[in-house]
Structures are given as C-alpha cells and as structure tokens.
Amino acid sequence: MTDISVEGGRALLGGELFETSLQIAGGIIGAVGAEHGRGSLGIDARNLLVLPGIVDLHGDAFERQMMPRSGVDFPVDIALVDSDRQAIANGITTVFHATTWSWEPGLRSGNNARQLLEAIEAMRPQLAADTRFHLRHETHNLDAETEIGQWLSERRIDLFAFNDHMDSTVADLAKPQKRSRMVERTGLSNEEFDRLVNCIVSRAHDVPASIARLAKAGQAAGIRMLSHDDESPEMRRSFRARGVDIAEFPVNEETAREAAEAGDFIVFGAPNVVRGGSHTGWTKAADMIAKGLCSILASDYYYPAQLLAAFRLAADGVLPLAEAWDLISAAPARAAGLPDRGVLAERYRADIILVDDEAPLRPRIIAVIAAGRLVHLTDANRLIRSSAVPRMAVAAA
C-alpha cells in the first residue's frame, strides 16, 4: 500500500481547522504535521479543507441502480459498483446500504435482500467505500422472522432497523398516485396487491411478540439497532427498553426530545436540511439540530445530501462547520460502533476527503482517500511525487 501525505490543507482536528499536513501509512493516519515522506505520494491540499470521511448509516439510493424504473431490474453486482462510485464521489467512505425486507414481492422482497447481502459480502474487497448491510425489517413481515434471526445470530447484519409502514400503506391505497407506485414496485395486479395487504393486516396481533424476539436476538449478537419513524415518546421508550438506542426519523419534536434526554442517537435525513424541510411534511431537521435534538444526518435517498447539508448548516448559522461535520462523520461512526474512524487523528483509519469550499453552498470534492488508498481525484495537478522515488516505483504506484 502506497504511503500518502496530504500537505498544506486546513484540516479538521479536535473540532477546529488548522493548516497542517497528514502522513498516511498502512491504511491509517500515521502522523499529523509531518512533512512529505520519502517515497510517498503527496497531495497538494493548499486552499482546501481536509475532513474526515463521511459515514452514512442509512442510504437507499442504491435501489435506483437496482431498479431505475418500475419493473426494470439490473444485476445486483452492477448496481453495487455504480452505487459505490456515487458514494465515494460524494465523500462517503463508510456506507450502510439500507435494505428493506418487506412483505411485498419485487424490489423490497426477501429474494432481493438475500441477493444484496450475498453480493455485499462477496464484493467488499473490491469496493472503495467500506460497504455494510443495514437491514430494514418491516415488522409485519412475520414470515421472515426465522431467517432474519439466523442472520442476526451469525452477525451478517451490521445495523438492524424496525420499520412499520403498514398504516401508511393502507392509507395510500386510497391515493391513486401513491397506490400506483406501490403496486408497480411489487409487480402485482391491483387485486393481488389488495388481497396481500388484507392478509398481512389480519396478522397484526402477532407483530409485538415478533419484535420482542428479534430485538432479543439483536441484543444477544451485539448488533446496533434502530427504530424507524417513532411516533411518540412511549414508542421510543418501548424500543429503548429492548436495546434499540438509535431513533431514526422521529416524526415529532416530543419524541425526539424523549430520545435526546435519554442519550439516544437521533437520525434525520440530510436531504431534509438541504431542501429546507421534509418531503413528507414532517419534522424540519434544521430546527431539530438547532434545538439539540438531532445527532446524525444520513443520506437517506440522495448521496450528495450529507456533504451539502453540513455546509448548509454552517452557511445558515445553525452550527459551525466542525459541529455540522460531526453529524455526518464522528457521530454516525460512534452510533454504528466503529471507533476507528470519523476523526482525523493518529492511529485512526485514513478515511479523508479534500473539499474546495470556495462556494459555501456548493462544496466540491477534490480527492477521497479510503482506508489509506487514493480512490477518487478530480484534479491531477494536485499530485506531488517525491523526487526520491525511483522511476520503477512511480510506474507501479
């Protein structure tokens, strides 16, 4: 692995920006403030920000690579490679693909979940981002409990979320546009979809016990768990009692406040910040951040959103950039149980991005280093090669 030095940038260190250099060796940050190392590859970071790589706990934009149009499928391996390139180009060096396993056939079926898990496990070594599996379990999908429990016990799942979209699904049946999207995604006829929904709803009384069993299995395996769209403080307390300490997209302020007061991690969507509000009309993420009721921003459905949101928060005076960056790097790393990343410091994993911030609301990624490898570069003039490097070594680098 080629040693790399990042020279002369404004690096985020200990919550402040300092002009300094970083030395990378063996995939980790070896020294801060070191000069260009003999035989290493240098990157000129003058006039650039040097920031920890972004950690994305919940991104499902990869679904658009799997099914770019309703009923149009592409192989999972192709979708993963394309998603990896998109994530890296947007500064995401650790990505949790949020995979929904629902009671529906089609895009969010068990078959797709299995294929994606197997593909991630097989392809991890060739992907630039550290790619992990976040399973979003629709709690009414009772037939999947046994297999999911096995995955949990084998620690094949990196994050495990409890989702319940049943009420909204039933409500959307009366809305032609939303109904059409749901049905097209499954490949069923309208009549077949209605029969399936009625069957699933009829088993609702079995859902609480299933949640309890799976949460117990997740706790036993030491897997971090999330509850999605908590609707009330009582709902949040119930999940917390089962070891689910990450509240993902709480739908109102009182639920977010309950989570914050208990010390839970609270996730909102970065697109919410960038767009100035939720596309569903629910909680405004920037307001929650200003009130200390959000600790993590996820890409949700749009990979560029985390980078853009951090700079938007700084430009709007909601948070200084260093604190805004914590929402997309150090905090999600802590929530996911990954203590080796999210900050720039010696002996930490070398996940580093270089950003041109000349236009405050339009930051540009210039370079991305993931686990000590230069995996993305938009300006080759930034490369510095040591004069001490032998010609053969240059050719092989």
Judge contact between 169 and 197, C-beta under 8 A.
yes
Mutual angle of helices 145-153 and 207-221, in 10-degree steps? 10
Q: Which residues contact 263 (CB under 8 A, 6 or more apart)?
A: 245
pTM score of the predicted model: 0.92
CA distance 269 to 304: 12
**Which residues belong to CATH 2.30.40.10 in the chain?**
4-52+343-396
CA distance 87 to 95: 7
pLDDT tens-digit series, residues 282-298:
789 999 999 999 999 99
> Which of 199, 145, 144 has its CA nearest to residue 169?
199
**Which residues belong to CATH 3.20.20.140 in the chain?**
54-335
Helix (H, G, I), strand (E, B) or coil at 67: coil
User: Within 13 Å and on the Cβ side, how many CA atoms surround 217?
Assistant: 22
Q: Which amino acid is at 20?
A: T
Strand partners, 31: 23
pLDDT band at 37 (very low <50, low <70, confident <90, very high): low
CB atoms within 10 A of CB 84: 22
Whether the pLDDT of residue 389 is over 70: the answer is no
Whether the pLDDT of residue 395 is over 80: the answer is no
| Residue of 320 and 34 predicted with greater confidence | 320
% of residues, the chain, pLDDT over 90: 80
% of residues, the chain, pLDDT over 70: 95
CA distance 111 to 203: 22
User: Within 13 Å and on the Cβ side, how many CA atoms surround 366?
Assistant: 21
Strand partners, 343: none
267 sits in which H/E element: strand 265-269
Judge contact between 342 and 92, C-beta under 8 A.
no
Judge contact between 190 and 259, C-beta under 8 A.
no
According to the model, what pLDDT value does residue 66 have? 85
Query: Beta strands of 41-119 (E only): which ranges?
Result: 41-44, 49-52, 54-59, 92-101
The C-alpha R_g of the chain, in whole angstroms, comes to 22
Whether the pLDDT of residue 370 is over 50: the answer is yes
According to the model, what pLDDT value does residue 250 have? 95
Chain length of the chain: 397
pLDDT tens-digit series, residues 136-175:
999 999 999 999 999 999 999 999 999 998 888 888 888 8
CA distance 98 to 175: 26
| CA-CA-CA-CA torsion sign (352, 355, 361, 362) | negative
Whether the pLDDT of residue 394 is over 50: the answer is no
Burial class (CB in 10 A: 0-12, 13-18, 19+), 1: exposed
Tell me how many helices (H) and strands (E) the chain has. Answer: 16, 17
Alpha helices in the chain (DSSP H): 63-66, 76-89, 110-123, 145-153, 166-172, 176-186, 190-201, 207-221, 233-241, 253-261, 270-275, 285-290, 305-315, 321-326, 330-335, 391-396
Pick the range with the lowest mean pLDDT from 25-29, 233-237, 351-355, 385-389. 385-389
CA distance 64 to 73: 9
User: Phi, psi (5° rounding) for residue 109?
Assistant: -85, 170
- The domain defined by 4-52+343-396 folds into Urease, subunit C; domain 1 (2.30.40)
CA distance 341 to 328: 12
pLDDT tens-digit series, residues 188-230:
899 999 999 999 999 999 999 999 999 999 999 999 999 999 9
CA distance 227 to 164: 9
On whether the 54-335 domain is CATH 1.10.3720.10, my answer is no
Whether the pLDDT of residue 355 is over 60: the answer is yes
According to the model, what pLDDT value does residue 174 have? 86
pLDDT band at 387 (very low <50, low <70, confident <90, very high): very low
The distance of Cα 248 from the centroid of its chain, to the nearest Å, equals: 12
